[in-house]
Amino acid sequence: MEYLLSVALFAITSSVTPGPNNIMVMTSGLNCGVRRSLPLLTGICVGFTVMLLLVGLGFGQLFILFPHLDLAIKTIGTVYLLYLAWQIARATDIGSADQQAKPFGFIKGALFQWVNAKAWVVAIGAISAFTTAGDSFLSQNVTIASTFFIASFPCVGIWLIFGTWLREFLENKVYQRWFNMIMAILLVGSVLPVVTEIWYQL
């Protein structure tokens, strides 16, 4: 029970604190509303769970065996993140109930985890801190992934609700345009450490 509580606390704190996932969800909640943003929320939660499982099963070792694979994924991921930031920055109107902006979907939310620097830090940190070598490693890995899956929905969902709540205060197009620009800049800023790594690898 103590082990599960420790994993749960780590999952909650790492999921609810500010990061690229929460910025994306909050922005989607503002521009598209809760219902249309649910696929993005689900994609983030499912995508990170799959990422945790794969990292635990040794996927991270591929980067050690094939260093160029690491560089390729980082480069593609950076371009993808900049594309998402551009999409956020150019969203200028809060959609009405009948005509809303097109939100990011399940696939984009899931794929985004592989270029999310915070997601990598959390995934590697969780596997390193809460697993031990031996017969129980697989069950521990599944426990960690399941705990994060359960915790991430309400923790990230809070940001979605907050974004939707902001709709009432950002009906003014100028205010909403500034909000989207700030969120886009924050997303770009979140990938700067990855850009630095790519620069040094090149």
Letter string b/e over residues 50-59, b meaning 16 or more CB atoms within 10 A of that residue's CB? ebbbbbbeee
pLDDT digits (tens, 9 = 90+) for 39-89: 999 999 999 999 999 988 876 566 667 767 767 776 777 777 777 778 777
Per-residue pLDDT at 59: 66
Tell me, what's the pLDDT at 60? 57
d(CA 76, CA 41): 22
Q: Enumerate residues 6+ apart whose C-beta is below 8 A from 104.
A: 24, 28, 40, 43, 84, 87
Q: Which residues of the chain have pLDDT under 50?
A: 95-100
Spatial CA neighbour of 84 closest among 108, 114, 100, 101:
108
